[in-house]
Amino acid sequence: MAHEAYIVAELEDAGDAPSYCVSCEWKGPASEADSAWGCRLTPGGMVPAGRCPCCGEPVYIEVEAEPVRIVIGLDGGVVQGVTANTPVEYLVYDYDIEGSDRVVTRPALDGGEVEVFDSGCDDAVVDAKTVATIYAALEAEAIP
Ligand SMILES: [Zn+2]
C-alpha cells in the first residue's frame, strides 16, 4: 500500500501557544511562526502550527506529557510489585551482591559498568485508577 502525503492547506489559529522548531533552536509563540501552508503531513503524524521564522522547517506546539507514575512495593528491600499508570518495563539493579553467585556486569546508570544481581526486566502491572488514587492521597498529605 502506497503512503500518501498530505499538504497543509488551512489551519486553525494556534494563537500564542508555546511552539518549537524541529530543526533549529527556535522556540516561541505559534503566532510568530510563518504560515504552515504547503508543509507535508503524514497520516498519524503531528500537525505543524507553522514554519520556523529562522529556518523554515515545521514548528509544532509543545505538548506537556502526563508524567508516568509508578508505585513500587518493597518488603525487606525486595521488590514485591510494580504498578504504573501506563505500560512500563522495569529492571531492578540490586547492588547487594555479596555472597551471590548470580552476578552480572551491566552498564551503570552514571556511566561505566556495575555489578548487579542477575535479573531480567519485567512489565509493571498497569492500573491507572489505583495509581491515581495513591498519588491523590499523597498530594492530600502534602497539604498542611
Ligand atoms: Zn527552525
pLDDT profile of the chain (144 residues), mean per 10: 62 83 94 84 82 93 87 92 95 93 95 94 96 94 80
Q: Which of 36, 56, 37 is nearest to 48 (CA)?
A: 36
Given this model, what pLDDT does residue 1 score? 47
Cα 11 to ligand 1 centroid, rounded to whole Å: 19
Given this model, what pLDDT does residue 77 score? 83
β-bridge pairing 78-84 and 125-126: parallel
Cα 65 to ligand 1 centroid, rounded to whole Å: 22
124-to-67, 91, 117 alpha-carbon distances in Å: 15, 10, 19
Q: Which of 128, 127, 100, 132 is nearest to 115 (CA)?
A: 100
Cα 128 to ligand 1 centroid, rounded to whole Å: 37
Cα 4 to ligand 1 centroid, rounded to whole Å: 25
Q: Residue 73: helix, strand or coil by DSSP?
A: strand
Given this model, what pLDDT does residue 64 score? 79
Cα 51 to ligand 1 centroid, rounded to whole Å: 8
CB 59 within 8 A of CB 32: no
Cα 17 to ligand 1 centroid, rounded to whole Å: 16
* Gyration radius of the chain over CA positions: 23
